[in-house]
Structures are given as structure tokens and as C-alpha cells.
């Protein structure tokens, strides 16, 4: 019995490793955020497994249920809709329960949006702070930016298509238009795009393209120059 924390593609199916495919083939149960998304993935692999819904809303309830399945001898694979579970996605609670009950937790690494974006950004990567999705309200977002205004290392955020414009506007206001930034959209997909430059320049660049998908925003320390 083991819990496998398995990274799924963030856009390109070619990023699913052979080890990941074999693990999905051999497992008893797939714990997933959305059964519809998981079904599409498993359909592409011609696999049929028992699904257990493991979304943000049901994480507390189903963590205990999954623990009981593991203790009965079942192997469980934890996946998110895209990318690596537990990274701005559900998963922490079942992993913690497994650690508390001496059940093996085995990572099956693969795609992770902020790692992919960071590696191709050209911004300092010796030390980073990943902050994931910020609260949706402008006041809370600005407060976070103010808190890390003088942070000496690179900051990394996730943002949705619905708030990316407001995110950039607020970042310009708090950090200043000359702060260096990288905005990556639709990573690994056909319309993957990187915007790198000052916040003011990137804001203008983004006006000329279709804004869709999810975004990774990387903000360099204040003294960094391209």
C-alpha cells in the first residue's frame, strides 16, 4: 500500500512520463480534483480506474476515506487537474495523514507550472518565494505586494485569466513600473507565450495578445536589471 503523488501534464501530453503511465496502470484508485478531467486523461491512456473525488471542498472528508483504503492494502494515486498535486492544489491533508500512519508516500515528478516558468524566465533563481494564488480582492493583493516590496529574492505567483489585468495594474502601482517581471501564459500549449521586461513594458505587451489560460507571474528583486 502506497500513496503516489503524481504530476500530470499542464498542457502537453508528451510531458507524462513512462513511470507516471505505469503507476496509473498499476494503481487501484485515482484520487482527483475533477472526475471529468481525470476521465479524459485516463481515456487517452485507455485506462479504467475507480475515482475518488478529492477537491478543495471534499479534502477533509475524503482524506480519511483514502487513508482507510490505503490501510486495507489499496494503492492510491493522487493527481490534480494539471501539474503537481499539493502545489497550490489539494493533497496536503492526505499526505500528512499517510506520514502520521507510516504509509509510504512516493512522488512521481513531472510538470509544475511555476518551475517551468522560472527555468525559462531569465530572472534570478538562486532563491525564490512561491506564493501561489493571491486572494481575489484588490486590497488583499496590494497588501501582499506591499509586504514583499523589498524582499531580496524572486517572487512567484499564479493568477487566473479573470484577474491577470488587475494583478498587473496593482503590481505596477506597488512595485513601480520599472520592476523587472516575467509573465508566462499557457505553458506547454500551442499559444505558450513569455512576456519579459519591466512591469510597464509587459503591461503594454499583453494588450496585443489574447488573454486566456492561467498565468505564472515572476517578479525580480528590485535592484535586478535585464
CATH number at residue 125: 3.30.950.10
Tell me which residue range forms the domain holding 34.
Answer: 2-108
pLDDT (0 to 100) of residue 113: 97
Residue 151 lies in a domain: yes
pLDDT (0 to 100) of residue 60: 82
Residues 176 and 198 in one domain: yes
Residue 204 CB contacts under 8 Å (≥ 6 apart), including other chains: none
Residues 169 and 209 in one domain: yes
Residues 122 and 208 in one domain: yes
CB 219 within 8 A of CB 179: yes
Sign of the torsion angle spanned by Cα atoms 172, 178, 179, 181: positive
DSSP letter at 86?
A: T
Residue 225 lies in a domain: no
- Per the structure, how many domains does the chain have? 2
Grid cell 507510516 in the structure block, residue:
102
Residues 183 and 124 in one domain: yes
pLDDT (0 to 100) of residue 226: 87
Residue 166 lies in a domain: yes
Domain boundary among 108, 141, 163: 108
pLDDT (0 to 100) of residue 81: 96
Q: Look up the CATH number of the domain holding residue 9.
A: 3.40.1010.10
Residues 118 and 102 in one domain: no
Residue 120 lies in a domain: yes
pLDDT (0 to 100) of residue 56: 79
Please list the rounded mean pLDDT of every run of 10 residues in the chain (226 residues).
96 96 98 96 96 87 94 97 95 96 98 98 97 95 97 97 95 97 96 96 87 91 92
Q: For the chain, percent helix, then strand, then coil, each to nearest 5? A: 35, 25, 40
pLDDT (0 to 100) of residue 61: 85
Amino acid at each position: 500500500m502506497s500513496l503516489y503523488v503524481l504530476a500530470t501534464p499542464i498542457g502537453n501530453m508528451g510531458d507524462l512520463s513512462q513511470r507516471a503511465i505505469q503507476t496509473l496502470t498499476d494503481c487501484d484508485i485515482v484520487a482527483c480534483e475533477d472526475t471529468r478531467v481525470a476521465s479524459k486523461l485516463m481515456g487517452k491512456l485507455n485506462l479504467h480506474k475507480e475515482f475518488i473525488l478529492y477537491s478543495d471542498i471534499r479534502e477533509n472528508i475524503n482524506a480519511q476515506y483514502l487513508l482507510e483504503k490505503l490501510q486495507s492494502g489499496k494503492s492510491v494515486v493522487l493527481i490534480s487537474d494539471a501539474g503537481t498535486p499539493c502545489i497550490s492544489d489539494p493533497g496536503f491533508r492526505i499526505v500528512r495523514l499517510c506520514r502520521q500512519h507510516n504509509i509510504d508516500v512516493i512522488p512521481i515528478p513531472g510538470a509544475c507550472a511555476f518551475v517551468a516558468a522560472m527555468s525559462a524566465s531569465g530572472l534570478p533563481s538562486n532563491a525564490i518565494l512561491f506564493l501561489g494564488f493571491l486572494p481575489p480582492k484588490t486590497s488583499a493583493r496590494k497588501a501582499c505586494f506591499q509586504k514583499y516590496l523589498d524582499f531580496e529574492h524572486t517572487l512567484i505567483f499564479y493568477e487566473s485569466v479573470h484577474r491577470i489585468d488587475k494583478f498587473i495594474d496593482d503590481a505596477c502601482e506597488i512595485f513601480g513600473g520599472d520592476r523587472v517581471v516575467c509573465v508566462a501564459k499557457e505553458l506547454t500549449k500551442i499559444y505558450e507565450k513569455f512576456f519579459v521586461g519591466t512591469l510597464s513594458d509587459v503591461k503594454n505587451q499583453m494588450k496585443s495578445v489574447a488573454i486566456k489560460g492561467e498565468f505564472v507571474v515572476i517578479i525580480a528583486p528590485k535592484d535586478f536589471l535585464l
